[in-house]
Amino acid sequence: MSTPLVTDNLAPELAEPVLALAEAARAADGVPPLSEHTLLRIRHGAPAGSSRFHVLSEDGLTVGFAFVERVESEPDSGEVVVDPAHRGRGHGSALLRSVRADAGPDGVRVWAHGRTPGAVSVAEAEGWVPARELHKMRMPLRDLGPEVPGGPWTAPGIPEPALRPEVAEKVRIRPFVVGQDEQAWLEANARAFADHPEQGSLTLDDLLQREVEDWFDPRGFFVAVTNSGSIAAYHWTKTHADGAGLSDSETVGEVYVVGVDPAWQGTGLGRALTLAGLAHLRDAGLPWVHLYVDGDNEAAVRLYESLGFSMWDTDVMFAPSGDRD
């Protein structure tokens, strides 16, 4: 079996085969094996020292790939994908061993998106154990009727995103303005996700890369701006033209990320901004909206359930058994 090529700079001639491999896996498994963040790193490159790419080739073909993001004082966070036509040959195991051997001082963890049986089987065979869960929740935005598998699906009413009077005096909710709000948003995002470096460490380049993606629409990116001009909270929505596993023919929405500055937590801004985004996606005529929430964030799960979301699927992050803690 070939040994993976490990590099911190993915050569341009390797990017297209890796993207094609990921698309083949998505079509076969019904779930994307690589996150948007990873896809952007493949397309645009990564800041020096931030990432590692593991590429497995066989007979001149790219048959497996792993990506690992490194964050200071945290375990590396990775993803692994094997071409469906080349599975069952030990490629997944080879990639897991490669990312573990190349891991930083705090170890490594790897996502199994959709908790597919093949991915779970490979992880368990290598002695990796679940370390974190990320729930996927969904909600209909219109009455989908019994013809949709699992139905009937009836859309709940979405309340108006009203602010408390004492909060409304200090902030106003409006759409994000490209070319104006980037720095204020980066500062708010870093404060809101200080304990979650995967999100909180996003840079201006990361934001600008997302702004040029086909799905980006500032009209669905809501910010709560204070009287001093800072951003107290935000809700960034996203659309998926491929249906994201919820629809075979229609674009669906996503609660992409909701962030609240710690100084503004408990003011109702998170709920109000969530409702503003949901109303925007509903008014766009989308049939579904989904979101991701950490399995141990019980308060967030309860909030989303109160809005009409229900559990749909779960991504599982695996770690080598000795690194779990």
Report the binding-site residues: 36, 80-82, 198, 238, 254, 258-260, 265-271, 292, 297-302
Residue by residue, DSSP assigns 227-287 as TTS-EEEEEEEEEETTGGGT-SSS-EEEEEEEEE-GGGTTSSHHHHHHHHHHHHHHHTT-S
Between strands 288-294 and 252-260, the pairing is: parallel
Q: How many CB atoms lie within 10 A of CB 109?
A: 23
Cα gap 32→94, rounded to integer Å: 21
Distances (CA, A) of 259 to 214, 244, 303: 23, 23, 14
Cis bond before residue 152 (omega within 30° of 0): yes
Tokens of 156: 């709940």
Angle between helices 36-44 and 12-29 (to 10 degrees): 160
Asked whether the CA dihedral 182, 187, 191, 193 is positive or negative, the reply is: positive
Place of tokens 């669905």: 220
Backbone angles phi, psi at 83, to 5 degrees: -55, 130
Q: Up-side HSE of residue 191: CA atoms within 13 Å toward CB?
A: 17
Q: Which two tokens stand for residue 104?
A: 């930083």
Please report, in range form, the residues annotated as the binding site for acetyl-CoA.
Answer: 80-82, 258-260, 265-271, 297-302
Q: For residue 150, give the 3-state DSSP assignment.
A: coil
* Token pair listed for 21: 């491999």
Tell me if 78 sits within 8 A of 110, measured CB to CB.
Answer: yes
How far is residue 267's CA from residue 260's CA, in Å, rounded to a whole number?
10
